[in-house]
Amino acid sequence: MSKMTKITVIMLVISMVFAGLIFANGGSETAPAAEKSKVIIGMATDVGGLGDKSFNDGSYQGLLDAKADFGIDARVVESKQQTDYVPNLSGLAEDGAQVVFAVGFLMGDALIEAAENHPDTSFAGIDIFVDPSKAPKNVEGLLFKEQESGYVAGVVAGLLTKKYASASDRLNDDNVVGMVLGMDIPPVERYQAGFYAGVKSVNPDCKVLSVVTGTFTDQAKGKEAALAMIEQGADIIFQIAGLTGLGAINAANEAGVAAIGVDVDQSGVAPDAVITSAIKGITRAVYLTIKADLEGTFEGGGNKVFGINEDTTGISPFNKWDSIVPGDVKAAVQKAIDDLKSGKVVAPASRKEAGYEG
């Protein structure tokens, strides 16, 4: 019996050593020792982690941009599971970080808890809504009008799937487009509602399908969801599902149809298939927030909403599709952006507003 216990302990120690190595690596990557004089800016990623070529990477880039411009000491800690959120955020604050970023909607409660425990540190939560009536003064929510990016991407999809379907072999005449969703959380819903409205604004008869996969890490599920819609004639798949969505883009590529990426320019995943990406200027928002804090204009206790007027929503360049997308579509995109900027068009922020029975 004691032998069994011993082995158990040894195995647990081994696993902890590995866990420790990970943590050390995540920190040391960007944090050379003895930079005490520099301002420390910390960031705790969501479970998807760096390397998602999307959300977390986009946030990290903002940190790197600020590092390049302001010479800050940038530190990143990655969350392996949801129970890591509070320790990671608190740990960064205890390391002396001046601003701590929480990346992702799911970290909302953890962010508030960490902010309450460390009143002298500024906290900012990407995609996290901070309730101004309850939240402590040192925390700010950074929100985006994803519906605007979704809307512009929807205009592209709505026109290409029917009117300009002859532009590429990857498009068909079925007039169907599809969306693959990760978890059904507010930012994802905003993309979805905006995309739906964008498609319908230029192509009222278009059939807009969507599948919720319920996960942000399962490529096989994303692929399956995309294929199920491609079987029904969908020729453009808009992925709003993080790593799950890489499977959706892969499926579209293999099936010979087109895809639209999300959050950052995902053209690199499959250059032939990805028309464009609905982007969210997380990078810029992180950069602007750090800048504001360094200049002493950080405003806590509420939310900052980034939209098309701050150049933080919209779509990425067409890249390989630049020569395929007709000029009329590009003109329509510009018009949609102008209308959103002037307020002539307001993209719906929920399925209910969009009238979409998704």
CB closer to another protein, 126 vs 152: 126
Q: Nearest-5° angle of CA 59, CA 240, CA 320?
A: 85
CB closer to another protein, 120 vs 205: 205
Q: How far apart are the C-alpha atoms of 31 and 33, rounded to whole Å? A: 6
Q: Which stretch binds another protein (CB under 8 A): 35-43, 101-109, 114-122, 222-230?
A: 222-230
The yes or no reply on residue 192 touching another protein (CB under 8 A) is: no
Q: What is the biggest distance separating any 2 CA atoms in the chain, rounded to whole angstroms?
A: 76
Residue 34 amino acid letter: A
The yes or no reply on residue 185 touching another protein (CB under 8 A) is: no
Q: Which stretch binds another protein (CB under 8 A): 44-52, 66-74, 150-158, 300-308?
A: 44-52
Footprint (CB under 8 A) of another protein, residues 54-73: 56-57
Tokens of 27: 């920190």
Q: How far apart are the C-alpha atoms of 352 and 358, rounded to whole Å? A: 9
The yes or no reply on residue 254 touching another protein (CB under 8 A) is: yes
- The DSSP annotation for 159-207 comes to HHHTTTGGG-TT--SS-EEEEEESS--HHHHHHHHHHHHHHHHH-TT-E
Footprint (CB under 8 A) of another protein, residues 82-141: none
Tokens of 278: 């609905």
User: Residue 21 CB, nearest distance to another protein (Å)?
Assistant: 5
- Residue at token pair 């800050």: 72
Q: Which stretch binds another protein (CB under 8 A): 103-111, 203-211, 279-287, 317-325?
A: 203-211
Q: Which stretch binds another protein (CB under 8 A): 177-185, 275-283, 288-296, 333-341?
A: 177-185
- Residue at token pair 């101004």: 132
Q: Nearest-5° angle of CA 97, CA 72, CA 86?
A: 25
CB closer to another protein, 138 vs 210: 210
**Of 42, 58, 62, 178, the one binding another protein by CB under 8 A:** 178
**Of 26, 62, 104, 141, the one binding another protein by CB under 8 A:** 26
Total residues belonging to the chain? 358
Q: How far apart are the C-alpha atoms of 152 and 195, rounded to whole Å? A: 7
The sign one gets for the Cα dihedral 251, 253, 259, 260 is positive
Q: Nearest-5° angle of CA 154, CA 156, CA 160?
A: 115
In eight-state DSSP terms, residue 355 is: T
Q: Which stretch binds another protein (CB under 8 A): 111-119, 166-174, 178-186, 314-322?
A: 178-186
The yes or no reply on residue 211 touching another protein (CB under 8 A) is: yes
The yes or no reply on residue 256 touching another protein (CB under 8 A) is: no
Tokens of 42: 């910390």
The yes or no reply on residue 35 touching another protein (CB under 8 A) is: no
CB closer to another protein, 215 vs 303: 215
Question: How many other β-carbons are positioned within 10 Å of the β-carbon of residue 15?
Answer: 10
Q: Considering CB under 8 A, how many residues would be counted as binding another protein? A: 57
State the residues that interact with another protein by CB under 8 A. 3-4, 7-8, 11-12, 14-15, 18-19, 21-22, 25-26, 29, 47-53, 56-57, 78, 80, 178, 181, 184, 209-215, 217-221, 223-225, 227-229, 231-232, 243, 246-247, 250, 254, 269, 357-358
